[in-house]
Chain A
Amino acid sequence: MRKLFIIIFCACLSASAYAQIVVQFVPELQGRTTDGLQLAKMTNVFPETQTVSLDIIVTEKKTGRVVQISTAPFTLLPGVNSIDRNAVSASTIRFADNNTARLLRQSGVFPEGEYDYCFQVYKQNKTSRGELLAEQCFDHLVEPLTPLFLIEPYLKDKICDKRPSFTWQPSLPAIPGLQYRLTLAEMKTGQVASEALVYNLPLINQSNILSPMLIFPPSAKELEEGKTYAWQVTVYKEGMILNRSEIWEFSIKCNDTPKVEPVDGFRDIEDLAKGNYYIANGSVRFALYNAYEATNLQYSFFCLNKPDQTFKHLPKIKLKRGSNNISIDLSENESFIDGYHYILTVRMPNNTLKKLRFLYKSGQ
């Protein structure tokens, strides 16, 4: 396909080879927008500098004339020249009176159609236009590009994978030689996504991607938990940006990150039972001494905010002989509600009862 394109392109050029000024124009890229038309290049084969003006006339097969752009006079040096930007700024534009022209005028983008782009280069005399130095026309069936949608990781998603793969919708219609670039950067405090991509060093700035998917680059540093990242995909060809996706952001957050338990989390139940204020963050933790044989701890709960609350699926706690550090995990039990007060009654090995009042905090 790429070879075919080169052959067609060369054919376009060779068709006009008789002229002293040759227009280089790639309609499938530059013929998509009114601004793109100005990116055509001109080769001045004359040995001397030429002052010229340029008419670009675009015609659609069914609709007829769409637009005519006439640049101000500008100088062509021998060799390859771009259209002078001042000449572009002073161009006059004549839109036709039809639907295609109206859409083009408002959007700057050519809607679908079979277009004929004619470049007419006139010699510019001091006060008026002179002879036609060159005329070259290019045909192309324009089909506007699809918007570039990102697929995964989804916008504002929280993922656990620190080396995620990225997927997006391919840019269509397919243009030979079209490539993607994926940029990813960390979002720092106080930054919005668009700032993150330009202010920070990109962690990934992978170019030359051919498929709408990128597996996390093997040599790149993995993403860090708790951080937020912004990413964007750009479609380009030969150094020209054709389309960009929105900028999406995602965070690395694992749901099951183990909670760090406090080191000094076990206080003697005798001390706690004296009525000291106790907050249970997801679990009740206390120490008790068992002078008897190993057994199961007998305990029950009572909810002060909801006295009729029943407690099911309480974990079995083994009590060994000697000192025991007990941790009763309540975080999975739905009977415990954040902010409610509870009384834990523990039947001690010597058959005495200890009551421990606590405020439950889910800790989530």
Chain B
Amino acid sequence: MPEKKILSLRRKLNILLIAALLLLFVPDLQAQRAEEQSLTTQDTAAVSNLNNNAHALIEKSRFNNLVDSLNKRKLFQQGVSIGKSPLDTLFISRLKASAFSGIKDSVMGEFLYYVKNNFGTDRVKKILKNFSMAGDSGSLQNFIGGKLKGFYSVNGMESFKIPSFDKLLNNQFSGVEYNIAHDNTALAPSPWMHQLSVSDQVKIMDIPFQVSFSNLSNEYVPLQYNNLMKVTFDKDGFSQGLQQKLGKYYNMKKYLLADMDMLSYVKSHFESELSQQVKSLSNEVITDPNALLQSKLSNDELLKLDNDQIKEKLLSSSEIGSIRERLQGSQQLLTEHGATMPAAQKDSLLQSMKNQSAYLASLEQLSDKISAVKNKMAASGINANQVTRLQQHFDAKAIENLRQPQVIKEAAGNLLPLNGLQRFFTNVGSLNAGTFGKEGSERGINTLLRGGMELSVLKKANVFSGGLGQVKDGGFLKDAGLQNSIFNSASFMQFLQFGKGEEGKNNTRITVINSNTTSPNTANFNQLALPRNILAGTISKTVKVRRAGLVEAEISKSATQYKNTVSPNADQVMEAKSALFSYTDDLLQTLSVGLRYMDEWEKAGLSHNAHVSYAGFGYTNPGNPSAAKGSWQYDMQLRKQITRQGHIQARFANRTYNYSTDGQSKWNNMQFDIQGRYRLNRKLSMGAKLNQYQLLRKTDSTKEKMYVSRKVTADAQYTGRVRGLAQRTMFSLGWQQFDNIAVQQGGQSNLLLMQWSTTVPVGTTVVSMNMFYNKEIADHELMGDLLTSEIGAGYPVFKTIMLNSSLTYLNNSIAARQVGIRQSVTTTALKNCTVGLFVDCRKNLITPVNAYLYGSFRGELSVHYQIK
């Protein structure tokens, strides 16, 4: 009993620990939305430095522009009157209550006609009713506003009856390819191989699906065992189709309200304001101040020049000086000769002085008024330069937006009469059926599924995906001759994933993978597995840091439950057959966690990727057979761009694998790799690489080196003329050592490596020479001294046939010596058909020792018929 209590207590503790881990992620999940909103706001804020008033003015101007344009436009010469139906009445009343109330009745009629024709009376009625019943006036306004923007941007009359799809079913055959290869190398798993592959595109209601079929077989595997087919939803193709359709029926620039000339609007606003202000200055001296202003300054100048510049233009300092001089002269004349001056002359002089003073004062007032208007606009954040910049920004943004999948999706939903299926597919991220591969995170799905299906949907930043399929380790053509496996049990797997946020941005994913082992039994591959249920739950969290950085954290827990398990202390079979009931067992041994930080410092040309992870020995992810178990590892990659010419990259990984019950026996695996490349000039570039890899067997008291591999290479690539001949040469020199200590004899190799390749174009012929040589310098010759060389030429015949002929020579000091010819032919026939033939024939000058490495014939024939 006490033992049971301890067990129960341990289980509770495990539950508490998992709950705590989950709680760590939950607040993040809630915070996600807020973060995304904040990001959006930041983006918007970056639009310009204009303050809110200016933005409001621009927005208002955009809507005013829309209403003005609509009121001026008449698409139906005979006009469309508004009906008396409840829908018409309701719709129009809602429209009049919106920001677009200024629209004329005749335009409203056309608008209603557009909406009913394209989106259906019943659907519109339903939407309006739903919004009205829910009291959601905001959504109703958005709906009407969106449709109105669509109506505003129609291309012509054909936009009033847009079809949901062009064809119910459309098949576009893409191509077919047949390959056959023969290799006479001894013990080759498949001496003869055939492949027939067909690719096709099927569109159902304009939703495109790519269909790929491949049949691979050899002389041992009958055709029917290797039929592979994959059907994939072509997301990009669907988006492009919607974009084309939108472009056909709508002017998308208008839809995004990016067609307005904001500067003109600001100009007219400024002119009308200024005209009103200046009119009040009319007096005897300046009867028409507006005319005076126009004569001195253009509207552009008034808008763009600053106050001092305007003042100078209105009344230049020299002109003021001359008027003041004249006034001073008149004053002096009056003072000196006023008493003796005739009354008429004196009056005239006084009048002239008064006029000149008034003129000066009026111009001063005019200048002040202009300054006041400009200051008022500036206080609202409007000036011509800013508006010009904003216009440029909006134009660039509109072009960018037109390419954004999110914008296309939103516009398609708003402007095109999509049916339910099409609307659903606008939210589909991926859909695969048949035999397909998944590449997810280490603790997610990362395997090939057979006879399966997978669907991923993204809606309003919520992600949902799910799938199922068979996982089988062998049975493909590449596995010919391998009949069974203990690497990974075959299983039938199902998974569900849900989360928030898009890939590459802040996101959270929760994945549940469930699998039941199976025992496949086919002619060429069979596996036996004890029936068991494996369950793995994974929470992944990605946080965007800085501009280009990502922090990814992942935690996963697995559980395995064998069917028909008998309790150690009893004879009856336990009832629980699902791993769900034992999910909290053996927590640390079935846990896998990982943390990764990737970032890029663009200015410094530096990028890095650092990763640390832990996995218990019992962790089993049915979605990823290669997922680490019993491991503790950390690794890092650094890359530095050195000017435009070169880069240096370093990688380091240290992985420790525990494989004993007490955790004392471990494999330790360490890898270090550094490489750099520098382009000295346009003709010459050089590179170097160092790679070291070692494996140790470790216990608490001992450390035993099991395998070491080192490789150092340096290479140069030269493209330029040598003695007047254009050529391209690659040369590399290296040293490679590996020591497989576990193998008593012949586990060591010490090689000097040399490689040289030159290509010389001579007219239409390209002459090429290649040589690879390795010299074994270890005591025991494992690889032997090996020389492979080839000299040949590529040349066209009859314009459509490209031939490549070469002579080959191979000499391995301990294994083989061969001389041969290599011939390839490529030709295009019947416009769309490409035929390729490759033959490599060799004559053995001595009998090869390792015949499985030195075949004397390989031939490949490929026929590819491509439609598009």
A residues sitting closer than 8 Å to B (CB atoms) are 1, 29-30, 32-36, 38-39, 63, 69, 82-83, 85, 88-97, 99-100, 102-103, 105-109, 111-113, 143-144, 146-147, 149, 151-152, 154, 160-161, 163, 167, 169-170, 172-174, 181, 183, 185, 190-195, 197-202, 205-208, 211-213, 215, 217-221, 234, 236, 239-246, 254-256, 258, 329, 331-332, 334, 362, 364
Contact = CB atoms under 8 A, between A and B. Distances in A.
A89 B858 contact: no
Contacts of B480: 205
Contact of B730 (A39, A99, A160, A208): A160
22 contacts: A38-B530, A39-B484, A85-B519, A102-B618, A106-B585, A107-B619, A143-B659, A144-B659, A154-B673, A160-B730, A169-B707, A170-B695, A172-B707, A194-B437, A201-B216, A207-B188, A219-B183, A219-B820, A219-B842, A242-B485, A244-B473, A254-B730
Contacts of B786: 215
A255 B738 contact: no
B5 to A, nearest CB: 15
A107 B629 contact: yes
Given A111-B659, A181-B189, A33 B216 contact: no
A100 B617 CA distance: 11
Contact of B682 (A85, A93, A332): A332
Contact of B482 (A102, A144, A241): A241
B682 to A, nearest CB: 6
A192 B436 CA distance: 8
B772 A105 contact: no
B838 interface: yes
B828 interface: no
B474 interface: yes
B728 interface: yes
A173 B589 contact: no
A334 B644 contact: yes
B282 to A, nearest CB: 47
Interface stretch (B245-253, B344-352, B848-856): B848-856
Given A217-B853, A240-B483, A240-B484, A105 B693 contact: no
Nearest to B480: A205
Contacts, number: 322
B849 to A, nearest CB: 12
B166 interface: no
Nearest to A69: B530
Contact of A111 (B484, B567, B661, B697): B661
Contacts of A242: 485-487
Contacts of A160: 715, 717, 730
A91 B682 contact: no
A258 B728 contact: yes
A256 to B, nearest CB: 4
Nearest to B564: A92
B227 to A, nearest CB: 11
Contacts of B679: 255-256, 332
A319 B730 CA distance: 33
A147 B628 contact: yes
Contacts of B486: 29-30, 32-33, 35-36, 39, 240-242
Interface stretch (B135-143, B367-375, B664-672): B664-672
Contacts of A91: 530-531, 564
B660 A112 contact: yes
B214 A199 contact: yes
Nearest to B490: A35
Nearest to B859: A219
A111 B707 contact: no
Given A89-B519, A113-B661, A219-B855, 15 more contacts: A33-B486, A35-B517, A88-B519, A95-B562, A103-B618, A106-B586, A106-B590, A107-B620, A167-B738, A169-B707, A170-B743, A172-B667, A172-B707, A185-B478, A195-B436
Interface string B197-227: 1000000000000101010100000000000
B242 interface: no
A83 B659 contact: no
B740 interface: yes
Nearest to B560: A106
B193 A172 contact: no
B17 interface: no
B643 interface: yes
B810 interface: yes
Contacts of B665: 112, 143
Contacts of B22: none
Contacts of A236: 482
Given A85-B519, A163-B772, A258-B728, A190 B210 contact: yes
Nearest to A176: B743
Nearest to A244: B487
Interface stretch (B35-43, B272-280, B498-506, B521-529): B521-529
Q: Which 4 A-B pairs have the closest CB atoms?
A: A106-B618, A194-B437, A241-B485, A112-B660
A167 B435 contact: no
B243 interface: no
B98 interface: no
Contacts of B794: none
Contacts of B762: none
B87 to A, nearest CB: 46
B19 interface: no
B478 A240 contact: no
A218 B659 contact: no
B661 A112 contact: yes
Contacts of A149: 669, 671
Nearest to A222: B770
B707 A201 contact: no
B521 A212 contact: no
Contacts of A181: 189, 482
A106 B707 contact: no
A309 B786 CA distance: 54
Interface string B851-868: 011111110100000000
Contact of B212 (A199, A202, A240): A199
Given A112-B659, A219-B857, A254 B717 contact: yes
Contacts of A154: 651, 673
Given A108-B620, A173-B742, A218 B854 contact: yes
A146 B487 contact: no
B284 to A, nearest CB: 52
B822 to A, nearest CB: 8
Contacts of B188: 205, 207
Contacts of A332: 644-645, 679, 681-682
Contact of A195 (B448, B559, B738, B842): B448
Contacts of B770: 163
Contact of A241 (B484, B569, B585, B808): B484
B620 A200 contact: no
Interface in B834-852: 838, 840, 842, 852
Interface string B509-544: 000000001010100000111111000000000000
A158 B826 CA distance: 26
Contacts of B628: 147
B185 interface: yes
B195 A85 contact: no
Contacts of A82: 528
Nearest to B570: A94
B447 A194 contact: yes
Contacts of B576: none
Interface in B214-271: 214, 216, 228, 230, 232
Nearest to B626: A246
A149 B706 CA distance: 14
A219 B677 CA distance: 31
Given A33-B486, A199-B212, A38 B232 contact: no
Nearest to B730: A160
Contacts of B531: 89, 91
Nearest to B862: A201
A241 B818 CA distance: 33
Given A194-B448, A195-B230, A258-B728, A201 B181 contact: yes
